[in-house]
Homo-oligomer: A and B are copies of this chain.
Amino acid sequence: MTMEVFDRAEFARCRRAMRGVRPLVQCLTNDVVQEITANVLLAAGASPAMVVSPEESGDFARIAHAVLVNIGTPTPERIEGMRRAVEGAEAVGHPWVLDPVAAGILPWRDGVIRSFVERRPTVIRGNASEILALAGTGQGGCGVDSTDASDAAVETAKRFATETGSIIVVTGERDFVTDGTRTLVVEGGHPTATLVVGTGCSLSALVAAYVGAMPEEPLHAAAASCFAAKRAAEAAARISVRPGTFHTAYIDALFEED
Contacts and interface: CB of A to CB of B under 8 A. Distances in A.
Nearest to A29: B31
A39 B252 contact: no
Contacts of A143: 24, 47-49, 51, 63-64
B248 A244 contact: yes
A103 to B, nearest CB: 12
A255 B248 contact: no
A162 interface: no
Contacts of A145: 47
Contacts of A48: 32, 143-144, 197
Given A47-B142, A248-B244, A249-B244, A31 B52 contact: yes
Contacts of A168: none
A247 interface: yes
A50 B73 contact: yes
A43 interface: yes
B102 A49 contact: yes
Q: Kindly name the residue among A48, A143, A252 whose own CB sees the greatest number of chain B CB atoms within 10 A.
A: A143
A230 B60 CA distance: 31
A139 interface: no
Given A24-B143, A31-B34, A35-B36, A251 B256 contact: no
A145 B24 CA distance: 10
Contact of A106 (B33, B59, B108, B256): B59
A72 interface: yes
A252 B113 CA distance: 35
A164 interface: no
A109 interface: yes
A242 interface: yes
Interface string A21-50: 000100000111111101100110001111
